[in-house]
Structure 1
Amino acid sequence: MSLLVKICGVTTPDAIDAAVSAGADMIGLVFFPRSPRHLSLATARSLAERAAGRARIVALTVDATDEDLETIVSGLAPDVLQLHGGESPERVAAIRSAFGRPVMKAVGVAGETDLAAVDAYAVVSDMLLVDAKPPKTTEALPGGNGLTFDWRLVAGLDPGRPVMLSGGLHSGNVAEAVRLTRLSGVDVSSGVESTPGRKDPDRIRAFVAAARSAQGEGERE
């Protein structure tokens, strides 16, 4: 299976264009007001149109209500809903059923005990994303916050669903992450930014190239 590469938290047309031209498979658009990557529905729709037919659009939400999800699904028609909050397996299953979209559930990982949730979420999700668990600070946002975790914890993880790796990835370490974990894909946000919320096209291209290079090495072994 080809490695999936996702560029998340895209906010500008030049970042969309760079991601698509570099060969990214998925574009993440964030709907979470506390995030510097948060988008209005109108802006998200405009960005998604630039990638239409060339990359899958992922709408990232955090403990969203049914009303919010309905607004996003009807207004954006994303290919995937990414649930990045404290949604229970039951809530994930309900969202997947109600909105008829593939669902990717994020699981925060700091230690081995955090992986206990993987099987329960795999049953009700189409994809999983293992991310660095947020630090316990008031400033921390859901997600990796630019931090990595011990990738050996998820090396070869196979819960019967595609699993993507996130948290602290950038062009300088993504090849190692791909080789070590052998997961289905990689997801980057702050690792390709010049400032919070602002993606750098050159960093996007370098990240995708590094990930693809590592994938190619694995295929030749």
Structure 2
Amino acid sequence: MSLIVKICGLSTRETLDVALDSGADMVGFVFFPPSPRHIELPAMSELVEVARGRAEIVVLTVNADDQMLDQIVRQVRPDWLQLHGTESAEAVAAFRQAFGVRVMKALPIAARGDLGRIPRYAAVADRILFDARAPKEATRPGGLGAVFDWHLLENLDLAVPFMVSGGLHAGNVAEAVRVTGAGGVDVSSGVERASGIKDPEMIRAFIRAARATEELMVR
């Protein structure tokens, strides 16, 4: 099974083209105004049409309501909704049923105690994304370049696929995969030269490094 590589927070045609040409499996677009990677739906829709059929399209939201998610699904037609807020397991199940779109739920990890709620979400989401827990003063829950202790996920056995994110870059992605056994990796700030500004060569380098880890996968 190949490692799934997701490049998140894309906002320009140039960097989207680089991600697609370099073989990204998933491309992510952020609809969350506090984020420096936020993109409005009309511009997002144009970029999505470039990617459609070449990579799976993911739209990231944070605690969006039903009306907003409905608008995203109707206008953008993503393959995935990435719920990156404090959405409950019940909300994840309801959104998945209401919109007929696969759902990836991001769960923040900082300590072993954070693992207790994983089964509730694994029972209702199509994929789990583990990310570093944001500090209390943060204005957004992810894309902060923070790394969590990957050893917390060692020997994790889930009924659904999972990915890791949080502070990944070309230099550490192999270790993240080796330790966690994750089936996918997700990067945003680790391929940026400044906050919200993707760097084409960093995207290429990350995807090359991720592909080189595939023999390490254990699931």
TM-score band (shorter)?
over 0.9
Q: Which residue of 1 aligns with 2:180?
A: 181
Q: Give 3-state SS (helix, strand or coil) of 2:106's partner.
A: strand
| d(CA) in 1 for partners of 2:157, 2:188 | 24
| 1:33 partner amino acid | P
Which digits, 9 at most, give the CA deviation of each residue in 1:157-180, with x for residues without a partner? 221101000000001111111122
Q: Give 3-state SS (helix, strand or coil) of 1:141's partner.
A: coil
1:144 Cα shift? 5.0
| 2:194 partner amino acid | T
| 2:182 partner amino acid | L
**Does the alignment pair 1:113 with 2:121?**
no
Q: Is the 8 A contact 1:105 1:128 kept in 2?
A: yes
Q: Give 3-state SS (helix, strand or coil) of 1:203's partner.
A: helix
1:140 Cα shift? 3.8
Which segments of structure 1 move beyond 6 Å, counting only runs of 4 or more?
A: none
- 1:149-188 pair list within 5 angstroms: 149-188=148-187
| d(CA) in 1 for partners of 2:170, 2:106 | 22
Q: Which runs of 5+ in 1 are unaligned?
A: none
1:129 Cα shift? 0.2
Q: Is the 8 A contact 1:134 1:144 kept in 2?
A: no
Q: Is the 8 A contact 1:108 1:130 kept in 2?
A: yes
- 1:202-217 pair list within 5 angstroms: 202-216=201-215
Q: Which residue of 1 aligns with 2:10?
A: 10
Identity, % of aligned positions: 55
| d(CA) in 2 for partners of 1:97, 1:79 | 14
Which digits, 9 at most, give the CA deviation of each residue in 1:175-213, with x for residues without a partner? 111122111100000000111111111000100100110
Q: Which residue of 2 aligns with 1:136?
A: 136
Pair 1:103–1:59, CA change in 2 (3 A): same
Q: Give 3-state SS (helix, strand or coil) of 1:124's partner.
A: coil
Q: Is the 8 A contact 1:5 1:208 kept in 2?
A: yes
1:155 Cα shift? 2.2
Which digits, 9 at most, give the CA deviation of each residue in 1:121-150, with x for residues without a partner? 00010000000000111x441125110010
Q: Give 3-state SS (helix, strand or coil) of 1:194's partner.
A: strand
1:2 Cα shift? 1.0
Q: Which residue of 2 aligns with 1:23?
A: 23
| d(CA) in 2 for partners of 1:180, 1:109 | 15
TM-score (norm 1): 0.96
1:219 Cα shift? 6.4
Q: Which residue of 2 aligns with 1:190?
A: 189
| 2:3 partner amino acid | L
| 2:63 partner amino acid | D
